[in-house]
Each structure stands twice: as structure tokens, then as C-alpha cells.
Amino acid sequence: MTRILALANQKGGVGKTTTAVNTSAYLAELGHRVLLIDIDPQGNATSSIGVDKNSLELTTYDALIQQESLDDCLVREIRPRLDLLPSNAVLAGAEIELVSTDRREFQLSKAIEQSQTEYTVIVIDCPPSLGLLTLNALSVARGVIIPIQCEYLALEGLMQLINTIDLVKQRLNPRLDVLGVLMTMFDARTRLAGQVVSDVRRFFPSRIFETVIPRAVRLAEAPSFGQPIFEYDRSSAASQAYRRVAEEICQRLDLPDPADHVATEATA
């Protein structure tokens, strides 16, 4: 069964796209078949993984609004076992166009259900808002990962997001739950960063990821080269941290070991 995750936070600049790109790439490297969906009109996940968002023929917009097959809109094998449903600025009009669409919150769910491509994990990078595009992601996801920066006012707006997730769970998607809260941009040199992590652990003792993502120049540089951090600088602390996050995701989702799947196919 495909596990579908949404990366969501209505605050911008919290490391949401960085987390979506790097966890997707690491899950694929660990052997899982992964689809990264960019449902943000800014298209940052698309460009961060090395795809020119200005030269795309079909995007998330076409899958949601034009009823094109999701499979036809994919950029396949951007990395081994990793496909991308890309986005660009055209998607900005979708918020308005979806308003008059029947079952407007389920257009992404419909597109995924009609796909003929099988994935172990689908990761959705949401825009920094709680509009219809984010609702489409939450309506199909089984889990939400909430990145929070280790800075002052980190918890501001978090309860609004949690309330939105609860409403979606009650009215649209009873399977939805928070998979985990991920602390990002951690600066060990400041007392504030440690205090913020402690505060979040107090609020979400069972949901916060054990791994904390450090603030790192190399991590900020990698998207400009169209590379996940492990390609840009595998030995960096940020690269090692995102690998641990991917491993935590595998544990929380109870993903099968890809090696076991290969062994089963070989003996069949």
C-alpha cells in the first residue's frame, strides 16, 4: 500500500521544501519507489531537484485542473526510483479555478487514484498557506510532517495548522494524522534554539522527530545546483541528518525493507 505524506506549514521559510526534496531523495536511495509531488505554485521543489520549471509541458496544474493523466505529467527517473510531478507559476490560478469544481478538495486524490504507477511513498510539498492546494494534499495524505524552524515564534500558527488537520480528519479524510514534527535550522551556538526544541518536545512528546536538522550553508547552497544535499555534500552534518530523518520515516511508516522485496521477486 502506498504511503502518502504531506509536508505542510503555512509559515514560509521553515525548511518545508528542503525537507520534501531531501527525504524523497533519501527514501529513493534507500531503495523505495518514490513520487515527489510539487503542489506549490512557486515550484521550488521542482527547481531544487534540478528540473527547469519554465520548460515544462505538463505540470501539477494539468493533473488537477485539465484532467490530464497524472502519469502523463510526470518527470520520470529524475533520480533512480524517484519521479516528480512538477509545478510552476501556472498552478497559481488553480486556487481560483478549484473553487467552482465539484469535490474540489479531492482533485489530487482523484489523480493519484487513477495513476497506473506504483509507489512505496508519495511525498507532497505543499505551499505556505492553508488554501485549496494544501487541502487537496491533506485530503489524500495518510500522514503530515510539520517542519518548524528553531527560532523565536516557532510555535506561532502551529495550533492553527493542527486545528486545520483535525478539521480535515473529521470532515474529509479520517485516515489523516500527524506523522511527526521536524525541527529545522538548529543553531547549536544559541541557547534559544535549544529552548525552542525543548518547548516543542513538551507540546508533542511522542510526535517530534529525534533528528534535528542543523542550520548549514551547504544545505542552503544545494538547491541552486539542483541537487539534494547528499549529492552536493554527502559528508556534511545536514546530509547525515536528513538520512536519519528518512530512516525515522521508514520506521514510523513501517515500510518494508526493499531488499526483502527484491529477494521475494528473485525466488518467485
Q: Count the neighbouring beta carbons within 10 Å of the beta carbon of residue 92.
A: 16
Q: What is the pLDDT of residue 264?
A: 44
Among 120-124, 138-142, 199-203, the least confident range: 199-203
Q: Average pLDDT in the 200-205 region? A: 85
Q: What is the pLDDT of residue 263?
A: 45
| 142-181 confidence digits (pLDDT tens) | 999 999 998 877 777 788 888 999 999 999 999 999 999 9
Q: What distance in Å separates the CA atoms of residue 51 and residue 1, rounded to the nearest whole number?
A: 28
Q: What is the pTM of this model?
A: 0.94
DSSP readout, 58-84? S-HHHHHTS---HHHH-EEEEETTEEE
Q: What is the pLDDT of residue 260?
A: 61
| 71-108 confidence digits (pLDDT tens) | 999 999 999 999 999 999 999 999 899 999 889 999 99
Residues constituting the chain? 268
Helix, strand and coil percent figures for the chain, each rounded to 5? 50, 15, 35
Res 265 pLDDT > 50: no
> Which residue from 37, 104, 109 is spatially nearest to 74, judged by alpha carbons?
37
User: Kindly report the CA angle at 147 between 70 and 73, in degrees rounded to 5?
Assistant: 10
Q: What is the pLDDT of residue 203?
A: 82
Domains in the chain and their CATH numbers?
3-267 (3.40.50.300)
Res 194 pLDDT > 90: no
